[in-house]
Amino acid sequence: MPAFRAPRGTRDLLPDDRATFDRLQATGTGLASRYGYRPIETPIFEQAAVFERGIGSVTDVVEKELFRIAPRSEEAESWALRPEPTAGIVRAYIQHGMQTWPQPVKLTTTGPMFRYDRPQAGRYRQFWQFDVEAIGDPGPAVDAEIVELGFRFYAEVGVAGVEVLLNSIGDPACRPAYIEELVAYYRARADVLPPTERDRLERNALRLLDSKDPAMTELNAGAPRITDRLCAACAEHFAAVQAHLSLLGVPFRIEPGLVRGLDYYTRTAFEYYVAGREGQQQALGGGGRYDGLVELLGGRPTPGIGFGLGLDRVALVLAEQGSAAVAVDGPLAVVVGADPEDTATRLKVATDLRAARLRVRADLGRRKLGRQLEAAGKDGAHFAVILGDELAQGQVQVRDLLAGTQRVVGIDDLARALARAEANHHHG
């Protein structure tokens, strides 16, 4: 056992993992840009109140999972690592007066999030999200645009069998009456409620519906459903979102039990699952509308909607589905030499080639030429640049490791010759 390990619930992304994440991030950012979303970066920590007020203090994310930063004695601020980016982005929207920009303001970000969750496969304490937010558009068309964007992301990165689950959770006009009904339902069954849920019942009954406690599964299945109790405006909005999605050809399933785990949601709520994995509570991603959030954090009433897609879970599913790992290109050339001790010349030649923007490795081990050439082959290099006696005449041998041919090239012409060979190889 090594003396030090990565903290529980965190993972090192080794180069192969990092390459997968790079590809997911690049796909997400590229897709978001195609849809008119511009990148934004907010701090990884915020005043804890941004999350307490935004996400809601009676939620798992804030009550149990918030990574609070121990305040330094001289500072009154209470900070926390971000468990999600939406609250911070809305804080930035208000702080920078984005309500005066053309609406909606469409933003995207990708980065690490932190939740002090019980670690298990697909559930980490540091995980990555691809997030988009459209602030300032009441919908319903933008709701469908966002759901479709997420759906397309999974298709483009190659996840098979993604299902969209859709619901409406109402608004301040219709939700209070529904919550009363919900409270009555659970009160009547208080004797079978787990203690935390009984405690939450009076403070935030909606959260019982997304409880992770297995004891709640059956109870929740019989609970009254918001979908049957929407006010006319919410029902009309929900119907329009569905019509737009159908027009776009996005398949979806209405899931009346879907309420999401954060308090800021109103109306549209959605999640993406790989079909057959719903039972494990492993949503690949999710989002929804948050028409009250900007006002809640101190701005003017402004509607908004967005999603967060978990990149760790996408990487896991891609591996499970046997989707090909990202192919990593070897170096274009490896500089090797007949004199094992002359590492300086090998390094100098490689440095000049790198200055000419070529991808080149220098063999800096003091080993025989045969071994150096073997290693170049294993690297997947296209060429070996061999330094030998000809160097005195300003020449080197260039061996094409793929074709098995070899020729003499003037050292002054080396960068150009390699670049030309690479171009021919790629376009030929």
Residues that bind ligand HAM (CB under 6 A): 84, 86, 115, 117, 122-124, 127, 129, 131, 133, 261, 283-288, 290, 306-308, 310, 312-313
Q: How far is the CB of 125 from ligand HAM (least distance, A)?
A: 7
Give whichever of 84 and 291 is closer to ligand HAM, judged by the CB atom: 84
Residue 341, amino acid: E
Q: How far is the CB of 286 from ligand HAM (least distance, A)?
A: 4
Map tokens 């004797």 to a residue: 191
Map tokens 């080197």 to a residue: 396
Q: How far is the CB of 121 from ligand HAM (least distance, A)?
A: 10
Separation CA 128–CA 203 (nearest Å): 31
Q: How far is CA 356 from CA 329, 349, 380, 398, 422, in A?
A: 18, 11, 21, 17, 13
CA-derived radius of gyration, the chain: 28
- Edge-to-edge order in the sheet of strand 304-310: 38-39, 105-114, 126-135, 304-310, 285-289, 266-274, 162-168, 253-254
Q: How far is the CB of 126 from ligand HAM (least distance, A)?
A: 8
Q: How far is the CB of 262 from ligand HAM (least distance, A)?
A: 6
Q: How far is the CB of 61 from ligand HAM (least distance, A)?
A: 7
Give whichever of 124 and 383 is closer to ligand HAM, judged by the CB atom: 124
Give whichever of 122 and 303 is closer to ligand HAM, judged by the CB atom: 122
Give whichever of 285 and 331 is closer to ligand HAM, judged by the CB atom: 285
Q: How far is the CB of 356 from ligand HAM (least distance, A)?
A: 43
Q: How far is the CB of 166 from ligand HAM (least distance, A)?
A: 14
CA-CA-CA-CA dihedral for 167, 50, 307, 127, to nearest 10: -120
Which residues, including other chains, have CB under 8 Å from residue 128's CB and lie 6 or more apart? Answer: 21, 110, 111, 112, 113, 310, 311, 312
The helix (run of H) or strand (run of E) holding residue 387 is strand 383-387
The helix (run of H) or strand (run of E) holding residue 250 is none
- Is the bond preceding residue 140 a cis peptide, omega within 30 degrees? yes
Instruction: Please give the DSSP secondary-structure letter assigned to residue 424.
Output: H
Give whichever of 37 and 383 is closer to ligand HAM, judged by the CB atom: 37
Which residue's Cβ has the minimum distance to ligand HAM?
Answer: 310
DSSP lists the bridge partners of residue 131 as 109, 308
Give whichever of 141 and 338 is closer to ligand HAM, judged by the CB atom: 141
Separation CA 134–CA 37 (nearest Å): 8
Give whichever of 35 and 185 is closer to ligand HAM, judged by the CB atom: 35
Give whichever of 198 and 277 is closer to ligand HAM, judged by the CB atom: 277
